[in-house]
Structure 1
């Protein structure tokens, strides 16, 4: 092995250092020296020439721009990890009791670099390649030259031809889809030309569901450059952008590949973004950043090469799905709505098949929808991983309202198919989103309907917390809303504003500064809604409180009326079906209850829930007495007089 010959010359340098310290002849040194000479018999007489560079080290030096002296320092620092006897030898040279890593001073001595040489010390400086790319680590200590110098496990592995992966880069590694599985794109051709011309930093704008990673991989393939793919969004908790970027560059450098770094929208709003971009700009290997946002010129003075990835059309998505999910298992029209990247589709297909195998049943659309939600990254907007999914069967609404909801669901499901036909949403920078307004009294099913629209489309519902958005300071509300809209676009969720009139209220005549700034917030929302590329649902109890200009921006305005007696009968029956055992000795008259209890669906749910708890306390099934008692409490809670027929 070539590295063995190189270590034999490290041993020669160690022997010279021992001679200068008069260690030769002492029992501890002789024992270590014999072990080292036995393991590295090619030492011979040294002529004082620089330490030779092994083949792996030569490749590493070529990638990271290391000179001969830096190669000597790196090999000497790695020696204790390559052969533990070097650690014992270093301990003796440093006057320690046991094994030790080399100190900065010892490394310079072994490499034949004078300690008073400023250039020598610069080789171990923070901005020098050895430390900038994390090839060497200097431990903290009171004396600069006395600090211990260590080498990472991944670097040691690369020296012996097996570059193991450290935890940060391992967590971020992405297995890309073969670019041959997708049609050639103009963006990939443009990027390939730039890479072939020597471009070191590029940016791919990657909309939701676009093939950003596949575009970058295809470009590197056309430029005949190997690449490694990492995802900043998957970096471990507590790892900052700079550490993550450094881990990706070092890993790629050890493999002699370029870097593809997706999830670069993480740069937005991060205080270390400019420093991270500066690090990547000086990378020893080409870097392609992929983000769902536009390049921010504040990150770097000079602009990178910028291309835009194209979203997969419906046919391309279905073709990728069909590698895992057959047509007889899930129809194509149920796969089209999922705006996933090629890598996500591949991961989802494998997961669906695995889950179906564990469950011992064929793949179905429900498994596909659940897997897509897991991949969406928006699980924090759900009440819990075991939350029940909803469907149109959960809604008890008049036919006209229900038909409008079905039509809205079809729009959401087929949106990408329509968009692929052309700029049907209009020119002038208008967004490709769909907006709906739900109006009606409290408890009429507006929130449940929003969940149904999200669930039937395989999306998660992002319900906006108004307390975290509205701010008393001027301009802060708009900033908070911009973060909400941007996150909703990135996560591909249904954005739900409950009690929307609190944000989208009517603009008024300006009488003071408060009115002017309130009107500015509404004007900002009008503009942002028009340019939004996602699905938005607004719900309000009082439609008249909304600014009239929002009506034009709504594709759907659906009214949820108070339920009539027949609807209340259906609601009560469905709710009571879920409580389990009923008390046959105290039967319920649903027709009477539906006619008498003139409350909305949300109130009826509260009544049945309270009755179920009362029955559990009594240790019986739910009976008429439980429902009547719960009804009286609900009326009292609402501050309304209970119907005479319910009073005892």
Structure 2
């Protein structure tokens, strides 16, 4: 760096001497320049000729980004004002401006003069063309859109900082950087071999649950190269994907890292109905370092002229995932039964590390050891990544589901299938060939209030994922083709967020196809056909709930792995429901004991209705300044039957008097 600044001083001194020999050259600016030259020479003496090039950051930068001697001279002229105020003043005066008039920028004409380039020469324009190394790699910025010689040059702060020895990362890169531990898988060796052979861009398709980031990081680790892993989904909304890639590639080049870019496909195609942003692809290809892009989609042939090397990341085998957990939780007995479900969570290595870190923070705050329950809670909080767009977690478990044994066992089996899906898929394409996805689909059928929605929450919470309920009002559209576009957005977002997709009132979308009598029938059938195909390609978990199973198209049955019926509760089930709901409100009124047998036999309603009765009784008791008893429950049951428009069972609690009326201003 020292000898390069000394060379800039020599260039400035030469330009001053040249101007001094011109007729009528003496003016105040020239006098100031002539006075500055000795000061600059004293501040920047000629460095030793044998300065160690290996420690010279300028030489390393030139080698990585393909700069020649003239590029380096231009860059150093632009860097000069940021490292020496006197040099900045001299460059301003040479450009015909007062000190600091350029605001730290260098007049383009001055830079060309100092580097011996004619201002109108083709070489000068080529050196500063957007495709030239200096600008393509964001090492030099050209400001202004007026006449060519009226523009200015500036070296970005991060470049200047690197050249003076400061490797604090660019704020944009710091915001996008994510940790990613590597894994030793065959795909990682394939990527490493490609990088070793000089392949500049590799694309890793990483379906849900597959360790794409870990494969890419592991490939660089195999070669002894530090990976810089950035996630384009973490970039600020105002920053374009191409700019983010270019800045990240510059950072990787300066610190000698390989670049791993996550969310590449989402940056190229932000939404199914939007055109592809091919500038992102161009930025990936322009990087001066090897780049491994990672995305959920396959690479679209229309995105680039030349197809990058494409690698498919397979899901982590259970043994490898166990090694990742063992690495993050040393000393934990992961073979124990209480850890089995935790180790089976469908997390990538980076997600495992984040989950354990969050669990340790929770444990420290609560003064609890890090055990399975804490790790599962951390996984639930971190799993969906959808922010405020999804409903809050319920922490619902199988014990919260009051169902007949058969239905309960089927829900438990569905959870078990989802937990062991990777182990089964690692054995081969058991879901079939021909573009079929590896997802699981289940139908919950039954009357209102029988627990279908709660079961969906139980499934998502058991898997450490968010539940993504589909808002039908935002999906169904009266215009032809729009419903399919909206549904594609839903499936795409569910795959990107790794959530459990939940269609409530599914019969409104998945209805039976009918004979085509007019154009409305034809388009309605097309919507159902699209759903059939898209569900078959889905790689996640999808749950359907309906009160009217008979209204669903028969073709959906083949695509469903589970069909679970939620029957109206019988007497034993209703007794359990009453006890479960009232447990949260204990102690009850001892002077008016609750007759659970009478409630179970006399109130022939579903679990959701029983919950409403208990909630109404709790408010009535609070208003009366007392506790829940049989009389408040009987009164609430009578009102619930009236609300539902149903006749009370024989007897109708006629022998139970109503509770005492609430007194004005009574407090619980």
Q: CA deviation at 1:22?
A: 4.2
Cα distance in 2 for residues equivalent to 1:322 and 1:54: 40
| Contact 1:241–1:272 under 8 Å retained in 2 | no
The DSSP-based 3-state class of the residue aligned with 1:319 is helix
Cα distance in 2 for residues equivalent to 1:223 and 1:41: 41
The DSSP-based 3-state class of the residue aligned with 2:502 is strand
The DSSP-based 3-state class of the residue aligned with 2:327 is coil
* RMSD (CA atoms): 3.1
336-345 vs 213-222, which moves further: 213-222
- Which residues of 2 match residues 92-131 of structure 1 at below 5 A? 92-93=93-94, 94-96=96-98, 98=100, 100-101=103-104, 102-131=106-135
> Structure 2 vs 1, CA of residues 24 and 363 (structure 1 numbering), >3 Å: closer, same or farther?
same
Q: CA deviation at 1:618?
A: 4.7
The DSSP-based 3-state class of the residue aligned with 1:204 is strand
| Contact 2:592–2:630 under 8 Å retained in 1 | yes
Cα distance in 1 for residues equivalent to 2:65 and 2:136: 10
Q: Could you tell me which residue of structure 1 aligns to residue 618 of structure 2?
A: 612
Cα distance in 2 for residues equivalent to 1:62 and 1:580: 74
| Contact 1:78–1:156 under 8 Å retained in 2 | yes
1:423 aligned to which of 418, 425, 429: 429
Task: Return the TM-score normalized by structure 2.
Answer: 0.86
Q: CA deviation at 1:513?
A: 1.6
1:253 aligns with 2:253: yes
Q: Could you tell me which residue of structure 1 aligns to residue 3 of structure 2?
A: 5
Q: CA deviation at 1:396?
A: 1.3
> Structure 2 vs 1, CA of residues 382 and 98 (structure 1 numbering), >3 Å: closer, same or farther?
closer
> Structure 2 vs 1, CA of residues 336 and 301 (structure 1 numbering), >3 Å: closer, same or farther?
same
Q: Could you tell me which residue of structure 2 aligns to residue 42 of structure 1?
A: 46
Unaligned runs of 5+ in 2: 20-24, 659-668
Q: CA deviation at 1:15?
A: 3.7
> Structure 2 vs 1, CA of residues 279 and 421 (structure 1 numbering), >3 Å: closer, same or farther?
closer
1:514 aligns with 2:516: no
Cα distance in 2 for residues equivalent to 1:253 and 1:213: 19
The DSSP-based 3-state class of the residue aligned with 1:323 is helix
Q: Could you tell me which residue of structure 2 aligns to residue 300 of structure 1?
A: 304
> Structure 2 vs 1, CA of residues 82 and 619 (structure 1 numbering), >3 Å: closer, same or farther?
farther
2:333 aligned to which of 303, 328, 331: 328
Cα distance in 1 for residues equivalent to 2:144 and 2:583: 67
> Structure 2 vs 1, CA of residues 567 and 25 (structure 1 numbering), >3 Å: closer, same or farther?
closer
The DSSP-based 3-state class of the residue aligned with 1:481 is helix
Q: Could you tell me which residue of structure 2 aligns to residue 195 of structure 1?
A: 195
Q: Could you tell me which residue of structure 2 aligns to residue 599 of structure 1?
A: 605
1:44-72 deviation digits (Å, cap 9, x = unpaired):
9xxxxxxx999322222222222322211
Cα distance in 2 for residues equivalent to 1:580 and 1:237: 50
Q: Could you tell me which residue of structure 2 aligns to residue 445 of structure 1?
A: 451
- Which residues of 2 match residues 73-472 of structure 1 at below 5 A? 73-93=74-94, 94-96=96-98, 98=100, 100-101=103-104, 102-140=106-144, 142-179=146-183, 182=184, 184-185=185-186, 187-221=187-221, 227-270=227-270, 271=275, 273-325=277-329, 326-328=331-333, 331=337, 332-380=339-387, 387-472=393-478
Count of residues in correspondence between the two structures: 634
1:12-61 deviation digits (Å, cap 9, x = unpaired):
333444553746798865775565344223399xxxxxxx9993222222
The DSSP-based 3-state class of the residue aligned with 1:42 is coil
Q: CA deviation at 1:393?
A: 1.3
Q: Could you tell me which residue of structure 2 aligns to residue 49 of structure 1?
A: none
- Which residues of 2 match residues 62-77 of structure 1 at below 5 A? 62-77=63-78
Q: CA deviation at 1:544?
A: 0.6
Cα distance in 2 for residues equivalent to 1:287 and 1:174: 16
Q: Could you tell me which residue of structure 1 aligns to residue 551 of structure 2?
A: 545
1:486-539 deviation digits (Å, cap 9, x = unpaired):
333343322211111011111111111211221122222223323333222211
| Contact 1:202–1:306 under 8 Å retained in 2 | yes
Task: Return the TM-score normalized by structure 1.
Answer: 0.89
Q: CA deviation at 1:266?
A: 1.2
